[in-house]
Amino acid sequence: MIRVIAPGFFTSIQDLGRFGYADIGVPNAGVMDRYSAQLANQIIGNLPSDALIEIALGKTILLFEKQIVISVCGADFSAKLNEKPIDLNRSILVSKKDVLTFDKPIYGARAYVAVKGGIQTDIVLGSRSFYRGVTQQGLLKKEDVLPIEKGGNTKAQKNASVKIEMEHFTDRNLLVYPGPEYELLSFKQKTQLRTVLFSISSDNNRMGYRLEGVIENELPSMLTSAVLPGTVQLTPSGRFIILMRDCQVTGGYPRVLQLSEMAINKLAQKPTGDKIQFKLEV
């Protein structure tokens, strides 16, 4: 078991998401940055679909109540095991009573802790991904106890580690495709979309990222239709919202762009104030 000593700001259990229930209004949810999460699972020989702990912006303290192999990938929040700094992106054998802490953000916005065999919280509608209203809780809280596999592998692993591409955290360019309503934009709007360096507003979370700045816009709302994680909506007031993994399944704002899967992963690692630029592939 893993005991949550301090949850941090936005810490939750996530796997690849909940699919097949969007037509009854259930969001997909799932890890925000699939690239880092899959890496964390892969390093310790887990399945890509195993659930892990997603930590946003640090300040989390976890106590291990048994020996187990783990890995920490994604954002660097100055992770320490029993006060000693640890390497990211490699397998680590933790012992009973070990304490893993996350503190000051160095780079990135979301860290992933994978444990051998995956976190074993309840499966609801085919997934362990937290989403309030579907699962009992939306975020981890103090004193939560996370079940892990019984008799999980305690063999000291070879020091499996991978080298990550720092570009994943630093690159401003997001690969996007035209969204269903892209053609409704004026020439000027299309140009702005490609050339403006957008800044991420403080209104960013698992549901969506609102961008700073306003462009001229006369496009009205449309008849409610489906939206997907990675959809860039243009609101009547001329602001952009990039929908993320917890987004609602339908919406009424024009869908002007669609982020590539990798662009969603990159954006998930960008905190408030970071700059982004859309790179359109037609």
Partner 1 sequence: MSAFRLTYKCYGKSAILIEWPSKIDKKICEDVILFKNKILNNSSKEVVQVINTYSSLTIMYDSTINIIYDDILDLKSLYQQEIDSEITKKYRWEIPVCYDAQFGIDLEEVGSENELTNREIIDLHLSPIYTVYFIGFLPGFLYLGGLDKRLHIPRKSNPRLRVEKGAVAIGGVQTGIYPSISAGGWYVIGNSPISFFNVKAKEPCFAKASDEIQFKSIGLSEYNKIQSEVVKGKYKLKKTEI
Residues that bind partner 1 in the complex, under the rule CB under 8 A:
19-27, 124-125, 133-134, 177, 179-180, 222-226, 228, 230, 248-250, 255, 258-261
Q: Shortest approach of partner 1 to residue 134 CB, angstroms?
A: 6
* Identity of the residue, 102 or 131, whose beta carbon is nearer to partner 1 in the bound complex: 131
Q: Are 268 and 206 in contact (CB under 8 A)?
A: no
For CA atoms 266, 268, 270, 274, give the dihedral sign.
positive
* Identity of the residue, 140 or 257, whose beta carbon is nearer to partner 1 in the bound complex: 257
Please return the burial class of 90, using the count of CB atoms within 10 Å of its CB with bins 0-12, 13-18 and 19+. Answer: middle
* Identity of the residue, 85 or 133, whose beta carbon is nearer to partner 1 in the bound complex: 133
* Identity of the residue, 83 or 237, whose beta carbon is nearer to partner 1 in the bound complex: 237
Q: Shortest approach of partner 1 to residue 88 CB, angstroms?
A: 29
- The backbone torsions φ and ψ at residue 59, rounded to the nearest 5 degrees and listed phi first, read 65, 25
DSSP, residue by residue, 178-247? E-TTGGGS-HHHHHHHHH--EEEEEEESSSEEEES----------S-EE--TTEEEE-TTS-EEEE-TT-
Residues 6+ apart with CB under 8 A from 218: none
* Identity of the residue, 8 or 30, whose beta carbon is nearer to partner 1 in the bound complex: 30
Q: Shortest approach of partner 1 to residue 198 CB, angstroms?
A: 19
62 in helix, strand or coil? strand
Q: Shortest approach of partner 1 to residue 26 CB, angstroms?
A: 5
* Identity of the residue, 9 or 19, whose beta carbon is nearer to partner 1 in the bound complex: 19
42 in helix, strand or coil? helix
Closest CA to 206 of 13, 45, 23: 13
3-state secondary structure 71-99: EEEEEECCCEECCEECCCCEEEEECCCCE
Q: Shortest approach of partner 1 to residue 20 CB, angstroms?
A: 5
Q: Shortest approach of partner 1 to residue 136 CB, angstroms?
A: 9
* Identity of the residue, 67 or 248, whose beta carbon is nearer to partner 1 in the bound complex: 248
Q: Shortest approach of partner 1 to residue 217 CB, angstroms?
A: 18
Distance of alpha carbon 230 from alpha carbon 218, whole angstroms: 23
